[in-house]
Amino acid sequence: MRPGIALIGFFVCLLAGIWIACAGEPAEAATTERVVVNRFSGVAIEGFDPVAYFVDGAAKQGTAEFEANLWGTVWRFRNEGNRASFLAHPEIYGPQFGGYDPADIARGVAVAANPRFYVISAQRLYLFSREANRDAFAANPERFLHEVRKRWPALQEQLGQ
């Protein structure tokens, strides 16, 4: 076997091994955007349907069949009705603070949330990076929201740069 062919084969195997090792891992969410998106796919909140939190009472994955592009971001839904509801009222169904954890925002940092940790409070969706943050917020949302409202405009401006 020629050395060039062996070297190419080595790199192909190496790349295949890396791809296989990473295939089961969720991609890191971007934290330099105003809405948390998967940096590889451009899909918001890891493809979870934001309307499903309200109508199903659970975090449910959307599908590529029912997508919408809003705010330069791809959103996925479970059905046409959820997509239509979101497009009619994104301020209600979209995650507050762009999908960043409000408990972390209250501390002055923007941390991408995990869409599996959520609270619906005052008919708005909040996503959290950790279960402990979700539980603390759920116990007293107004305490957190008071701080978040003070800190979010400056953080949002930084994210948009």
Q: Residue 9: pLDDT above 60?
A: no
Residue among 148, 150, 96, 105 nearest 126 (CA): 96
Q: What is the pLDDT of residues 49-92, one digit of tens each?
A: 999 999 999 999 999 999 999 988 999 999 999 999 999 999 99
Q: What is the pLDDT of residues 114-128, one digit of tens each?
A: 999 999 999 999 999
CB burial class (10 A; 0-12, 13-18, 19+) of residue 51? buried
Q: Going by C-beta distance under 8 Å and a sequence separation of 6 or more, which residues neighbour residue 104?
A: 110, 111, 129, 133
- If one compares 16 and 156, the residue with the highest pLDDT of the two is 156
CA-to-CA dists, residue 77 to 24, 84, 96, angstroms: 22, 9, 17
What is the reported pLDDT for 29? 38
Read off the pLDDT of each residue in 25-53 and give the average, rounded to a whole number: 77
